[in-house]
Amino acid sequence: MCAAVAAPLRLASRLALVTGGGSGIGRAICQRFAREGAAVAVVDLNDSAAQETVKLLSRDQPGQEHANFQADISSSEHVANLMSQIQAQYSRPPCISVNSAGITQDEFLLRLTEEAFDAVLKVNVKGTFLITQAVAQALVASGASHGSIINMGSIVGKVGNLGQANYAASKAAVEGLTKTAAKELAKFGIRCNTVLPGFIATPMTAKVPQKVLDKFAGMVPLGRLGDPSDVADVCAFLASEDSAYITGACIEVTGGLYM
Ligand code: NAD
């Protein structure tokens, strides 16, 4: 067993925006980024959850200032306001953006309603588009020489999943969107990558029946469901210069499920 080591300070003096930062994977990413020295703009529809996250973040670096922002990422008006508020608070755009906000509304295809299909696509796809575009526009306008945009896909977008036609479609779309952004934004020094978590223990998966979770845990070669910190570790790598030559990639964080 290796001894735990302190997180390196790969993100010192960086400003990171994390959507869905009030819960689960997003909260773990905020915590990891703060431990690596970043100032974190914690964004969530649920503002009290985002406030709770801010309270948990380390502030060991000079000028390391975290703040919570309430926004619905599926609204262009909210996203525009969000970017103005971040600019007013930090006087610079975030050079790291993680879009972790996402929702499920599960139902078998034969019973899936148009409303549930549209609702999931609106947050997971349109929201990812609006945040990606807004951060990229702000970075390009500021003349920044580098940026890292990380979008949360899912292994389900690659392999499908019972009861998740809308969610699987939305996560496959996130991959296509992010790869296109990677191609268009490379000339500005902005890298764009997708992370594909497998089954991670969070409030989102708490809705899944225990017997289904046990079944998936049994199928994972590494023998357990993922922890939000497993995903946060990969996001910290993608946010940092340790991944300087990686763009347009989809990195699976699944414990080996579906390899
Ligand atoms: P979660 O439900 O714990 O957290 C999601 C957060 O997003 C919540 O705080 C919620 O308030 C926020 N949110 C929802 N809609 C929003 C909106 N319109 N605007 C702003 N914020 C909004 O979920 P999680 O498990 O942490 O999932 C995070 C991301 O990872 C999601 O995109 C999810 O699809 C993806 N993912 C999760 C798993 C998993 O097993 N947990 C697997 C693969 C992918």
Encode pLDDT of 46-55 as tens digits. 999 999 999 9
What is the bridge-based pairing of β-strands 250-253 and 96-99? unpaired
CATH of region 15-253: 3.40.50.720
- Neighbouring-strand partners of residue 250: 194
Distance 206 CA to ligand 1 centre (A): 12
Q: Look at residue 2 in the predicted model and tell me its pLDDT.
A: 61
Exactly one of 90, 167, 245, 258 is catalytic; name it.
Answer: 167
pLDDT higher than threshold 70 for residue 4: no
Q: Look at residue 194 in the predicted model and tell me its pLDDT.
A: 99
Residue 258 falls in the annotated catalytic set = no
Q: 229 φ, ψ to 5°?
A: -65, -25
Question: Rounded CA gap, 22 and 101, in Å?
Answer: 9
Q: 41 φ, ψ to 5°?
A: -95, 105
Torsion sign over Cα 65, 70, 74, 80: negative
Q: What is the pTM of this model?
A: 0.97
Q: Identify the residue whose C-alpha is closest to ligand 1 atom 41.
A: 200
Distance of CA 121 to the CA centre of its chain: 16
Question: Rounded CA gap, 152 and 168, in Å?
Answer: 12
Residue 3's pLDDT band (cuts 50, 70, 90)? low
Task: Count the helix, strand and coil residues of the chain and give each as a percent rounded to the nearest 5.
Answer: 50, 15, 35
| 66 contacts: CB under 8 Å, gap ≥ 6 | 30, 34, 39, 40, 41, 42, 54, 57, 59
Distance 9 CA to ligand 1 centre (A): 26
For the chain, which residues make up each domain, given as ranges? 15-253
- List pocket residues of ligand 1, CB cut-off 6 Å: 19-20, 22-26, 44-46, 49, 71-74, 100-103, 123, 127, 152, 154, 197, 199-200, 202-205
Question: Rounded CA gap, 32 and 9, in Å?
Answer: 10
